[in-house]
Amino acid sequence: MTRKYFTMLLMSMNSIVYAQNKPVKFITLDPGHFHAALVQNKTYANVESVVNVYAPAGQDLQDHLKRIESYNTRAKNPTQWQEQVYQGNDFFEKMIAENKGETAKNSVLILAGNNQKKTEYILKAAESGMHILGDKPMCIDAKGYALLKKAFEAAKKNNVLLYDIMTERSEITTVLQKELSQTPAIFGKLEKGTTANPAIFTESVHYFYKYVSGSPLKRPTWFMDVSQQGEGIADVMVHLVDLAQWITFPNVTLANKDVIINSAKRWPTTMTLSQFSTITGEKKFPAFLSKDLKNDTTINVFANGEINYSMKGVHTKLRALWNYSTPEGGDTHYSVIRGSKANIEIRQGKEEKFVPQLYIKPVNLSESELNQSFDGLKAKYPGISLIKHGSEWLVEIPALYRTGHEAHFGEVMERFLNYQAKNQLPEWEVPNMLVKYYITTKALEMAKSKH
């Protein structure tokens, strides 16, 4: 398969068909998180090269501009972004004032940074008639959830789109896990499971110290403050809840009444001052972390969480973990979905050389049934195949499909630009985003009530 053919296939998978509207302009607001830069890791059709950036002066802004510059100056596929920067404490007011009417309608506001005021910014931008692409989480607590509901109402009233960056929907193992779980001849019926033995279990492990775009990632000091970044249940858990909904209830409009949260818990990752200094460059803990001090040289970061809930009677258990670093590999993802004929499992451990791999584990499925039904998937994703591993089957995935986590941000942006060109999200997206954030914020309340 040629790369040109694969590109065409990806476009078909994501239904990318840009309308020939006026060129879109990107606006970046207070880019404190590296995800703000990753959506500019490539160029896009019908998007202006000039990007307006509004932010307070400081290291977060400088780090963002350095990342963009690294994309512009790299040897392979350099970008040509031109960042026009406004620095000042009134950066948000300035952004609103300079982007109104048709200017706002032809823009995409990119929000990826400190989450403490993010939901407030989202609400005011929606009220001003701006299209918004927000990094997760779009809210980190119950108060933020109330504001987010108002933001979606404002977006609807002003006929603009509000969408969050769900990169995991672009990961090929997850895409194929969804495909297989929607193939009754292989998967059978989705099990209901129980609280003790859920039908869906996902665990995501992240690390504070890691490499991004080939360099050690520098974290802002506020990233370790859960009142600014959000706890694990409200942050990374957003991805896991989203996948559970997207895979098992595709194109189904969900509601809060479909959810029963059975239990939730949270616990800290301890971080020494030396570790903190390594990833931030600061020699002491800032005052806002004094509430999290375990002792003079260690802080507790409540970045870990677990929730156990049911959606339309399907029991789901999700776990988000943050460790400081790992001697080998990087962030990992484990997921299993149980069906009456087979379980579909993603593993990314040492045995897989820390590359996500997809397995089919037969429960009541013959080899002939599997091979016959798998042919349909091979026609849709040319090059994939099955390799038998003991009692299970590995789905062999060609390298062309493995675009990588950083590329997924561009793929999300492609989808959003397509939605913006049509000025319409799939009808289930907004209700399901609200359900997703209801689950994470409600579970956080439950977990905190135990402390």
pLDDT digits (tens, 9 = 90+) for 279-317: 999 999 999 999 999 999 999 999 999 999 999 999 999
Q: Is the pLDDT of residue 112 over 90?
A: yes
Please tell me which residue, 258 or 6, carries the higher pLDDT value: 258
Residues 3-27 have a mean pLDDT of 59
Nearest to 329 by CA among 359, 355, 303, 347: 355
Confidence at residue 19, expressed as pLDDT on a 0 to 100 scale: 45
Residues 375-399 have a mean pLDDT of 96
Q: What is the dihedral of CA 323, 325, 329, 332, to 10 degrees?
A: 20
- Residues sharing a CB contact under 8 Å with residue 332, sequence separation 6 or more, in sequence order: 204, 205, 348, 349, 354
pLDDT digits (tens, 9 = 90+) for 161-189: 999 999 999 999 999 999 999 999 999 99
pLDDT digits (tens, 9 = 90+) for 244-278: 999 999 999 999 999 999 999 999 999 999 999 99
Confidence at residue 17, expressed as pLDDT on a 0 to 100 scale: 46
Long-range contacts of 97-106 (CB under 8 A, 24+ apart): 98/52, 99/27, 99/52, 99/128, 99/130, 100/128, 100/129, 101/129, 103/25, 104/128, 104/129, 104/130, 104/131, 104/160, 105/129, 105/131, 105/160, 106/21, 106/22, 106/23, 106/24, 106/25
Confidence at residue 9, expressed as pLDDT on a 0 to 100 scale: 53
The identity of residue 430, as a single letter, is V
- Mean model confidence pLDDT for the chain: 94
Task: Give 134's pLDDT tier (boundaries 50, 70, 90).
Answer: very high
Confidence at residue 177, expressed as pLDDT on a 0 to 100 scale: 98
Q: Is the pLDDT of residue 356 over 80?
A: yes
Q: Is the pLDDT of residue 11 over 50?
A: no
On whether the CB atoms of residues 230 and 134 are closer than 8 A, the answer is no
Structure token pair of residue 176: 């194929």
pLDDT digits (tens, 9 = 90+) for 389-420: 999 999 999 999 999 999 999 999 999 999 99
pLDDT digits (tens, 9 = 90+) for 197-232: 999 999 999 999 988 777 788 899 999 999 999 999
| DSSP one-letter string for 285-329 | --GGGGGGEEETTEEEEEEEEEEEEEETTEEEEEEEEEES--SS-
Q: Which residue segments constitute the domains of the chain, with CATH numbers given? A: 15-164 (3.40.50.720), 169-406 (3.30.360.10)
pLDDT digits (tens, 9 = 90+) for 151-162: 999 999 999 999
Residues 107-125 have a mean pLDDT of 97
Confidence at residue 451, expressed as pLDDT on a 0 to 100 scale: 62
H helix intervals, 54-141: 59-73, 91-98, 101-105, 118-127
Name the strand (E) or helix (H) holding 207: strand 200-207
On whether the CB atoms of residues 148 and 451 are closer than 8 A, the answer is no
Q: Cα separation of 222 and 375, whole Å? A: 50
Count other Cβ atoms within 10 Å, centred on residue 135: 24
Q: Is the pLDDT of residue 8 over 60?
A: no
On whether the CB atoms of residues 131 and 122 are closer than 8 A, the answer is no
Nearest to 354 by CA among 325, 387, 381, 332: 332
pLDDT digits (tens, 9 = 90+) for 64-84: 999 999 999 999 999 999 999
Residue 418 C-alpha from the chain's centroid: 18
On whether the CB atoms of residues 46 and 26 are closer than 8 A, the answer is no
Q: Is the pLDDT of residue 7 over 70?
A: no
Coil, strand or helix at 51: strand
Confidence at residue 183, expressed as pLDDT on a 0 to 100 scale: 97
Maximum separation of any 2 CA atoms in the chain, in Å: 66
